[in-house]
Amino acid sequence: MPHKFSIDRARGLLRPAEYIASPNRDPRPAGEAPSMIVIHGISLPPGEFGGDHITALFTNTLDFDAHPYFREIRGLEVSAHVLIRRDGSVIQYVPFNERAWHAGESCFRGRHRCNDFSIGIELEGEDQTPYEERQYAVLAGIIEAIRTAYPAISARECAAHSDIAPGRKTDPGPAFDWLRLYDSLESGSRRT
């Protein structure tokens, strides 16, 4: 069953969610509103969950000497709109009405620069490890809130990072169960 969320459209903020502002953001192009959702998977260091490394990365405060892998991503300036932790808790880093730096070089249905028109949702996880049931429930609730606030986004405008950056990205990977997400979205729509 999806969790209940809402969006303050004026501020672009998700309720309830912890808000930690990322500097890695900028205005969307003039007249551009969110029209798709990109689902990502992230773990820092790779394959490890918990801790504050993801938030540190998204806020440019990561100690690049704390783990050998971090040296490989030194200087990377990235963010997402929202992170769903393994325990189902939610952190928002960028308001939905601003552009988060999550997609990189990307294309969706012939439209390039997906950051311009997308909302990036990160799931704490990695390609080969099953995501948690509570993450699917929270994700479905957030997507329902996004679709209410931004009616141009339908379930068909929801893509994997690997779909918009094939050959460059693999997340959220084969461990992500799209049918489980779609079933949650359908059951939520039937209740409203």
Name the residues annotated as catalytic.
Answer: 122
3-state secondary structure of 32: coil
**Cα distance between residue 152 and residue 56, in whole Å:** 32
| Peptide bond just before 151 cis, omega within 30 deg | no
DSSP assignments along 85-105, one per residue: -TTS-EEE-S-TTEEES-S-S
Enter the tokens of residue 181. Answer: 């997400």
Backbone angles phi, psi at 180, to 5 degrees: -60, -45
Residue 173: CB atoms within 10 A of its CB come to 18
Enter the tokens of residue 97. Answer: 């009405």
Beta bridge partners of 134: none
Enter the tokens of residue 65. Answer: 């000497």
